[in-house]
Each structure stands twice: as C-alpha cells, then as structure tokens.
Chain A
C-alpha cells in the first residue's frame, strides 16, 4: 500500500477510551506515516485542542464522561473546523447518522479495515487542506468586499441574485451606464474573471446570500 503524502503539519487526533484500540490505531497510523496524537477521553482532547490545530479527529462515539457527540458539539461551538470521523460500535449507527447530519465527515464501524480507515483519514486530511485553502480564499474575498463602496455592494448583491443591469438600474434608480461602471469595478475589485467566479466567491463566503 502506497503511503499517501501527508502535509507535515497535519496531525491525526485519536480520541478513544479503550486503551488497546487507541494504541493499536496509533501503531497502525504511524506505520502509514501519519503523525498521530492520542487522547483517552473527550475532556483530555478538548483541553489539548487549540485554534491552530490541523489535521483530523478520529472520535469514539461511546465513552464514559463526555461522549463523542458531546465532544463534537463542543468543537462546533469552538468553531474548530477539523474534520471528524466517528468510530462507532455495532448498534451506534443511528447516533452516527445524527452526527453526520451535524457535519461529521463520516463514521466507521468497529472493527474496521486498515484500508477503510486510511482512506477516511486521507479524505479528512484532504478535506482539511481544502478547507484551509477555502478559508484563505474566503479571507481574500472578504478583504476585497471591504474595498467595495456602498453602491458597488448593492450592485453586487443584485448581480448575485441574477438581476440584469437594466433591472438593477431600475431598482437602484440609476442609469444602466452607471450600473455597468459599478459592475466592472466590482469585478475588478473582487478579482473575478467571470460572473460565475464572482458568484462562487461570494456564495462560498456567505452561503445564505444567494437565497436572499
């Protein structure tokens, strides 16, 4: 099996109360070249958890003290965007499903195959990398939005919801010419090559914007 290159700053966090499972997982993941950090409870993990953490989290659902779900919720509250994979036992599937709905990447049932867990880990790390890239993109978009004037922002919003220039001119009570000028300025300021790219940037930043 080929070892997928992992970003050197990415760490796989294993949170499981069962010492054997935790240890064996560390043993296996390390064999595949991942940096692994093991925690024996949700509380211990949350204590070690910081904003600069990267990588992914393998979280056991059923633990004494805080359960996996509770830890996940706490992470959500802390706006920790690390992708989470739940490890469940047999019969914990409904719980895992509800976890998925809340944004977990996936769940894996014990006992799991090496390939499955590695695929999931890789997927998570990839996701984390993507997320990290998107974050940078969003930050750029936000910065660019900040450069827009009031009028330009209004025009942008109407563009995103798909209004034509004429409609925009009517809505704002300005001339089409003026709309076109604003539009070109927006495109320039937002660094967008096309309308689609513009919309993609803005919606990625604010998914609810298109609905508005």
Chain B
C-alpha cells in the first residue's frame, strides 16, 4: 500500500507532503469505519448460530447477580457489624442497668442491715430512701415490709403505691417469701402495677438473728428502667423492650415500630433471674428502603439493560435483515460493486469481480484500481479520481485487466462520500455492449460512408407520385436539398421545363409499372440550371407486409461514364498510337507456343503485316537462341514472372543492321506467361559510337601529328645531323679514293661511322613513325621508364636547343603500369614540351626540368613534370583544359585537353599545381598492372 503512494501521488499531481497529510486524515475514517465493517462482516458470517445474542443477556444477568451478591454481602456485613454494635450496646446497657440495680441492691442490703441492726429509724429511712430515689429514677418506691407482709415504711412521701399499711399481694408475697427463705436479695416477677405500669420489685430480707423482720422492697418501674437507665443515644438507635418470662414486652422504649425483619437481640436480665430479658431492636436509619434500594436499582437497571438489549436485538435483527438484503444485493449483483478510497485503492469488492474479471474479491482490498486499468485509460481514470476527490459524482468507461490478462470494458458510476473519503463504485461490464457499439459504429460508419460514397442517387415515390425519400447522392447530383424534394409531387423541381412532357410521360410509365427493366435515360436539371443525362432504374417498393407502397428509382449520372468511355477509347487509341509510333519493334508471344499475340506497327513493318497469329520464331529475325535465355521461358509459371529473359545486341543476318533486343517474361491479360520483346534498331547509334571513337583516336593522332609538326624543325635538325654526317663521310671517302691516297682503314672507319649515322637517322624516323602511326588504343603492361626514355628522346632535342637540362628521377623497381604506350608517350612529350616552352624566359642556370616517377600508393604510379617556368595564373589554370585555349602563338590549344582525355582513359587524373620554387607541376597517375588484374578478378 505504501509503495504505491508516491506513484499515485505523482499521478494525482500531489506532492508527497500533501499525500502524507491526506493519509493521516484517512486514518480517522478508517478507524471509524472498521468496527461497523467488522460487525457487518460478523453479522454476515454468523447468521446460522445466534449464540452471541445470549452473551449480553447472560452477562447482564451475571452482572446483576454479582451486584446483588455484593449488595447482600455488604448488607450482611453491615448487619453483622450492627449486630455486634447492638450486642455491645445491649451489653453495655445491661451493665449500666445492672450497675444501677446493684447500687440499689447494695442500698437495700444496707437498709436491711441497718434495720436489722436497729439503727434505722423511719426518718433515716425516709431520708436515705428518698435520696436514693432521687438518684435512681428507675425506682419508684422503696418500702419496708414487715414480716407480716405489711408495708411499714414507704418512701417517697408522695407515693401512691405501697402505701403504708397495704399488704403485699400475689406475686409480691411469693417474692417476699422467696427472699425471706433464701435470706437473699430476691427479684419478684414483674407485674402490672396499680397504674397499669409494669413494675419490678426487689426484696432485700431483713434478718435479725435468723428471724425475719420483713424485707426492704424497691420497686422499679420497668418503663423507667428502659427510659432512664439507657443512654439517650441508645434509645435513638434502638427500641428497647423488657420482656417477661413469656417473652411479652413489658415495656417499650419507643412507640415507633422497628424495621421489617428488625435486628433484635435479647439479653437475659440476669439479676432478677426470673426470665426477664432485655430486648433491643435497631431502628434502621432510612429503614428498609435504604437497604433495598441498591438491590432494586441493580435489578431495575439490569432489567433496563435487558430490555434495551432486547430492543437492540430487535433493531439489529431488523438491521441484519436489511444488511442481509443489502449483502445479497451486493453479492448477487451482476455488476461490479466496490468501495474505493480516493487513491483508487479497493476497500471492498463484490463477488462479481470474480465472475466478470476473474479477480478474487477477497484479495483486492488494498490494491489499487489503477493497477488494473489499461494503460491507455490510466489518465482518464486518474482524472476521475481527482474529480471524485472534488466531490463530483462521475461516470466513465475504461478497460480493466482480467485475471487471464485480457481487458474488459467497464462502465463506472461513482458517487463519492466526501466525509469518508471513500467512493461507492458500480461498474458494469460493457465489453459486449462496447463490442456491439463498435460494431454498430463501424456498421453505421460503413453505411454512412457507403451512402456518402455512393454515387447512385436513390429516390422513392409513393403510388401517387409524391417523393418520400431521396438519398444524399441524389441531392448532391441535382443540387437540391432533401427538404426541397421530400413531399414534392410532380412536376418535380429537377424536371427541366423544356422536357416536362417527356418527364411526365416517364412518370406515368413508372407509376403504371411499365418502366423498362433496363431503365431509361432522361435529361434532368440541377438547381443551378445545369442539364445532365441521368439513367433511371425503377423497382417497386415493397413494405414489410409485402404491399407495394411506391416505386424506388436509382439514378445514375451518366455524364461521367460517357466521358470515361470516351476517355478510355481515346486512351486505347493513344496507347496504340504510342506503340505504333515507336521505332522499336514490340511483340508479345506465347512463351510455350511462340505464337505472336500482339505486334506493333514497327514489328509488322519489319517482319510482315501478317505477323500476329504466326510464331515469333518463324517471322522475327534476329532472335536470341534458346540457350541465350537466362531461364527457359517455356518452363515459367505465372508466379515466376515478371522476369528478364534476354538483354543484348543482335545483328540481323541479312540486313546487317544491329538491334538491341530485350525480352521479358510477363503475364498476359489472360493470365498465361508470355514473352514480351522489344527490338530497337541501334545500327545508327552503334555507328555513331564507332565514329565517335574513331574521331577521338583521330584527334589524338592529329594531336600527335601536330606535336610532330611543331617539332618538325627540331626533328629535321636532328635528322639532318646524321644525314649531313653521312654525306660528309661519303664525300670525304670518295675524294680520297679518287685521289688515290686513301688508306683502306681510314675509309673503312669512315664508312662504319657513316652507316652508324644512317642507323641513327633511321631510329629517329622510326620513332616519329611510331609516334604518329595510326593504331587502336591497346593497353598492356608497360615499363614506364622506357616510355619516358622515348619521350625524352624527342624532348631532349628541344631541350638541348634551348639549353634546358632535363633531370629524370625514376624510383627503383617501379611496377609496370597498364597503359597504352604511345598515348602515354604523347602525354609525357606534351607535358615536357610545355615545360620547356614555359622556361624560355627562365635564367639559364635555373633551366632545369624535372621528371619524377614514383609509386603512389600500392596500385598506381605517379608521374610529375616539374618546370621552373613562368607558372600559370589562377584564371589560366581554370582555363587550362578548355579546348583551343593556348598561351602559345603556334599552339592549337588541344594538347592538355587531349592529355587529360588520355589520362582519364587510363583511370587516372591529370593535376596541375604551382611549383613552390616557381613554375608549374603537372602530374598524373597510372594504374599498375596488378591493380588492373585485381579489379579484373573482382569484376
């Protein structure tokens, strides 16, 4: 995912920083979306088992139970604490009561002792008793009862019980007797006193030497015991009760009823020991409400949670149902559905991806759509993503890669959800439609092109003669617009006014169905008034039900065909005229039978006008022999042609004329292989070439003659020399012989010298003859040094005359050159003589002409003629080779021109350079023998 980012960022035109920021923003929706997504996933997956629904219920119940347990435990602990506190408090209360009662017992015992001792009189008793009563509010009375059980003394003064003189009753007696018998302090049974109050009496026997003197009795008001002997705090928290033996409450500290299921504790009031008990019941602060509230809350809240769970479940079930339907929609959709983020990465894809593209929808999330888009569509897809990022809904068509590597056309409709930075995309496989569209488009384009390119006009009329359809070709043909024609009835706008009658006749013929099948020609007019010929072909217009609804006419502008026919005819004529106008004889003959299929006028003129139909071998001379062909034309198949068979020059055996004959195997119009031959009379050309060659030779020879002519005086001098010598020798000898004084040896010597001179003269003559003799150019291997020697032989005569030294530098072991000896001598002589002439004005000591011969590269020899003469100016050099350009008074101006022709004939070049020491260097190259051999071999 990360590795795609820079690429996509670049493609989206965002810089990486922006991209990172966008990623951060993306992070939030991702987290937000995930749980929903997971729930949806879970709901989708776990529909068969609904165990997860029990979990919240069980959980809530467990929670409630555990809460209740905690509450119960807390309350139990609280109760225990309270009970402890109660026990403690009750103990404490009982102790304090007991202490009070013990003090009273001690007082009573003291009184009894005092009484028995006789130290107590009534006043003292009254005083003591009243004092005691004052500090013991629980006591109501203290009295002395004598042995007869009559109250003797009674305190306080204002008592309304135990009045002096009263006798004890029922229970009192029992208690009195018990105390008397046990001689111990005894508590009587509590009983209801005179005012309806429960009272408790305690009897302290008064004994005197074993005799009972009665008893001191103290009366406790049970109610007061509760109200006065218990601290106020205790009374606030607890309701105290004193129970009798039977457990009946004798008194209550508070009229307030204790809580339900009160915490109570009963403690036996031991001192009376007659079954009295002190009971304390705690007043619960807040009462039972406080105790039950947590439980109630827990239960209530649990119920609420359960209820809400149930409601949620119902809601979820509805949602699940809806989602299930949506998932069905998603999964079963034949279209591709997917969730994509704005970077083009898949979040979710439906199974249609597998069906349409063969891509596993589970593997797609995280991958980028761009990876699957055909590279031609990447740009528009990225543009789409940008538009989506801008919040626009988009639709586009692109090609996506299938798993098998093919591409399918998808039509996307995408609506972005901007807040989520996600898009919900629907893609429809439109490959088929696309193909159909393409086919339709092609078809439509084809039909359009057909209709546009069709030159045949179409026009339909209904049975009443009204135009119901025209095609563009017809509109184009006549120049009217479609709307001007459709609906029009006769006379139609394209009817020329001057032919209305004929047009109407044709229409009625058409409507009556009598139009000829081969059509009819009619002259119609264009909108611009132009008239033209058109041919109409009529056919009935049948609708789908097979009923004839009108007539369809196809109209052809036959102006062009007429012109084309004429053009073709004239083209054919031209072709024939051209072929017949050729000087070359042209024929076409069957390759197998040699039958002449075509012959042009020139052929017929040469070989007879009945040539066509006869065999080429029978009439055409010259003909290449069968063996001269490159391939035997009889074996060629139509696939082998065209192929050249022969190209050469042949001489007519009778007329002696030369023909250039060229034959080619080709395919004839009917498909068979034919020989096409062209024979051109080249006699004149050949003669011309011959003449030109001869002229060139003559020119060169003439040039040599001219050279000789120019050298005539020199040569004559040279020739005169030996001649004069011979004459002298002869004359001298004759004179001597006549005189008779001749010595034989002397005369003999002179004669030998004379004959030597004759030889010398002959050599010169021979050299001149050779130089000017008429001969064909003949190149052969030549020793250049020898040729140079010959040339110098001539030139030296002039050189000697003008006092010029010819310096020859010939490289040793020069290869032989391939050249015509005479021609090269001519060139050398010409160049040397030019050099000599150029030095006419040179100082005598500088009069040296150098001829250098050396190899130039591996395959050429360079000859340079270097003079120290006046040199040649730039413009002179440019004109140097122009025919008839000369600086000499006697020259013809052909010398250098011919030299150059000769050098070039020898594949060399004649160059002119200025001599740095003054003068001019003429140089040329000649190919060596081996170079020619090599090129001949390679050729």
A31 in contact with B727 (CB, 8 Å):
no
Q: Which of B601-609, B731-739, B865-873 is the contact stretch?
A: B731-739
| CA A21 to CA B756, docked complex, whole Å | 12
Interchain nearest-CB distance for B375 vs A (Å): 96
Give 1 or 0 for each of B616-658: 1 = CB within 8 Å of chain A CB.
Answer: 0000000000000000000000000000000000000000000
Most chain A Cβ neighbours within 10 Å, of B723, B727, B800? B727
Also in contact, A91 and B721, with CB within 8 A (given A27-B729, A28-B729, A31-B732): no
B801 neighbours in A (Cβ, 8 Å): 62, 64
B residues near A (Cβ < 8 Å) are 712-714, 716-718, 720-729, 731-736, 738-739, 750, 753-754, 756-757, 760, 800-801, 803
- In the complex formed, the residue of B with least CB distance to A65 is B803
**Inter-chain contact B717/A92, CB cutoff 8 Å:** yes
**How long is the Cα–Cα vector from A62 to B803 in the complex, in angstroms?**
10
Docked-complex contact B721 and A90, CB < 8 angstroms: no
Q: Are A112 and B724 closer than 8 Å at their CB atoms?
A: yes
- Say yes or no: B729 contacts A114, CB within 8 Å: no
The number of chain A residues touching the other chain, given as a range, is 20 to 34
User: Counting CB contacts under 8 A, is A206 at the interface?
Assistant: no
Asked if B731 and A28 sit within 8 Å, CB to CB, the answer is yes
Q: A88 — nearest CB in chain B belongs to which residue?
A: B717
Known A25-B728, A64-B803; contact A20-B716, beta-carbon cutoff 8 A: no
Interface code A24-63, partner B: CB below 8 Å = 1, 0 otherwise? 1101111110000000000000000000000000000010
- Whether A111 contacts B724 by the Cβ 8 Å rule is yes
A114 to B733, CA, bound (A): 11
Cβ-closest chain B residue relative to A112: B724
Which residues of A does B touch, CB under 8 Å?
A: 1, 3, 18, 20-21, 23-25, 27-32, 62, 64-65, 87, 89-92, 109-114
The smallest C-beta distance from A99 to any residue of chain B, in angstroms, reads 16
Instruction: Let me know if A114 and B713 touch, CB within 8 A.
Output: no
Shortest beta-carbon contacts, A-B, top 6: A91-B713, A89-B717, A24-B728, A90-B716, A114-B731, A28-B732
Contact partners of A87 in chain B: CB under 8 A: 724
Inter-subunit contact A31/B725 (CB<8 Å): no
Instruction: Give B756's nearest chain A residue, CB to CB.
Output: A20
Contact B716 A27 (CB under 8 A): no
Known: A65-B803, A91-B712. A24 touches B735 (CB 8 A): no
Task: Give 16 A-B contacts (CB < 8 Å), ordered by A residue.
Answer: A1-B735, A20-B721, A21-B721, A21-B724, A21-B728, A24-B726, A24-B729, A24-B750, A89-B716, A89-B717, A90-B716, A92-B713, A110-B720, A111-B726, A111-B727, A112-B724
Given A28-B728, A91-B716; A110-B723 close (CB under 8 Å) = yes
**Inside 8 A of B734's CB, which chain A residues have their CB?**
114
- Which one, B713, B718, B753, contacts A23 given CB within 8 A? B753
Q: Tell me whether A21 and B731 are in contact (CB under 8 A).
A: no
CB-CB under 8 A from A3, the residues of chain B are: 739
B713's partner among A1, A64, A90 (CB-CB below 8 A) is: A90
Q: Tell me the minimal C-beta distance from B710 to chain A in angstroms.
A: 11
Q: Which residues of the other chain, A, contact B726 by a CB distance below 8 angstroms?
A: 24, 111
Question: Knowing A30-B732, A31-B739 touch, does A20 contact B717 (C-beta < 8 A)?
Answer: no
Contact across chains for B753 and A20 when beta carbons are under 8 A apart: yes
A20 to B750, CA, bound (A): 10
Return the chain B residue nearest A23 by Cβ. B753
What are the residues of chain A within 8 A of B736 when measuring CB–CB?
31
Given A89-B717, A92-B713: A114 in contact with B803 (beta carbons within 8 A): no
Query: How far is the CB of A186 from the nearest CB of chain B, in Å?
Result: 52
Taken together as a complex, chains A and B put the C-alpha atoms of A64 and B803 apart, in Å, by 5
Question: Contacts of A32 on B, CB cut-off 8 Å?
Answer: 732, 735
Q: Which of A23, A91, A112 contacts B727 (CB 8 A)?
A: A112
Q: Which residues of A contact B718 (CB under 8 A)?
A: 89
Minimum CB distance partner of A28 in chain B? B732
Nearest opposing residue in chain B for A115, CB measure: B731
| Cα–Cα, bound, A110→B722 (Å) | 9
- Chain A proximity of B237: nearest CB distance (Å): 177
Query: Which residue, A23, A87, A92, A110, has most C-beta atoms of chain B within 10 A?
Result: A110
